[in-house]
Amino acid sequence: VPPRAMCSGKLQTGLLVAGYFVYLLVGAAVFQALERTAEKQQKMAAAQMKEAFLQNFTHLTVAEIEQFMKVSNLTEAIQNGVYPVGNESQIEKSNWDFSNSFFFAGTVVSTIGYGTLRPKTAGGQIFCVFFALFGIPLNIVFLHRVGLNRQGSSRKDRQKMGCILPNKFLTLLFFLVTGMLVFLCLPSLFFHITEGWSYSEGIYFAFITLSTIGFGDYVVGKQPDRNYFSYYRTLVAIWILFGLAWIALLPWPLTAQSTLEMLCVRQECTKPYCWQNPCGRHSHRGYMVTPKSSLAQHPVPDSG
């Protein structure tokens, strides 16, 4: 590959990665600006309803309690992430700070969609439509580009190794084991410590997330009785993005191996022109595969 083409490809990849994360950062900032004020108002209303309930707690009948639950919409408030527990300081903790907004933006473009955090204002909902409309294709292009770069680097490795074919099963096994360790096992231990889940629950959450199923029964950073460090959900969002890239690359070991086997299959050359690959093996085509993956027609020396 010419040096100029390599530089151009790296520049395009760099611009794509930078543009992708800038898109997420801008989306997070917009969601935060649109949703944070409305959420704070809902929290204040829930706190006032709680205070009114406690003042009349000893005098309420069962029917009045049920009526209170209907009028106050406590169920809806809890579904929106507003928990009427604790003191007034809970009002200042927002589900739409920048870390949570970035996490939400990542779940939108990756189509995970837990459902526990969602825009409730008209402006936020309309913006979410257009953000997803352009963000989902951008996410697909981003993951596809990561896959192309991985295939390109593997091709260079094969040329340096002299086209030595690894075992297909061992290649796939190595790719799966390392990916599961980095994106499933270690993050699950981290969730076990941070969220208080069992390790099996952490594994379950990691797989449901990276497979983009997103049931919403387990979501990080949503337990009101736990203190999370700043930008915890931002870190989780970055893990999701790189984990999705690993998932997108899972078919690569098989497809790359099949291509190599097709190029390096040993056949007897019976025509005056043939495929010749870096392994020095032939097939019945009139071209040769050079180490630069270019095609050139070469005659085969007459053996007799």
Mean pLDDT by 10 residues, the chain (304 residues): 66 89 96 91 78 70 68 63 59 83 93 86 93 93 78 53 57 85 95 94 93 88 86 93 86 56 46 43 43 44 48
Q: Is the pTM of this model over 0.75?
A: no
What are the counts of helices (DSSP H) followed by strands (DSSP E) for the chain? 10, 4
What is the predicted pLDDT for the residue at 152? 56
What is the predicted pLDDT for the residue at 303? 46
Cα→Cα distances 128→94, 158, 217, Å:
19, 44, 22
- SS3 assignment, position 283: strand
What is the predicted pLDDT for the residue at 277? 46
For 276, the enclosing helix (H) or strand (E) is: strand 275-276
The residues facing 275 across adjacent strands are 283
Residue type at 120 in one-letter notation: K
What is the predicted pLDDT for the residue at 131? 95
Residue type at 126 in one-letter notation: I
What is the predicted pLDDT for the residue at 85? 61
What is the predicted pLDDT for the residue at 192? 95
What is the predicted pLDDT for the residue at 247? 84
What is the predicted pLDDT for the residue at 273? 40
Q: What is the pLDDT of residues 20-62, one digit of tens each?
A: 999 999 999 999 999 998 888 878 877 777 777 767 766 767 7
What is the predicted pLDDT for the residue at 78? 65
* Domains, in order of start, for the chain: 3-253 (1.10.287.70), 265-296 (no CATH)
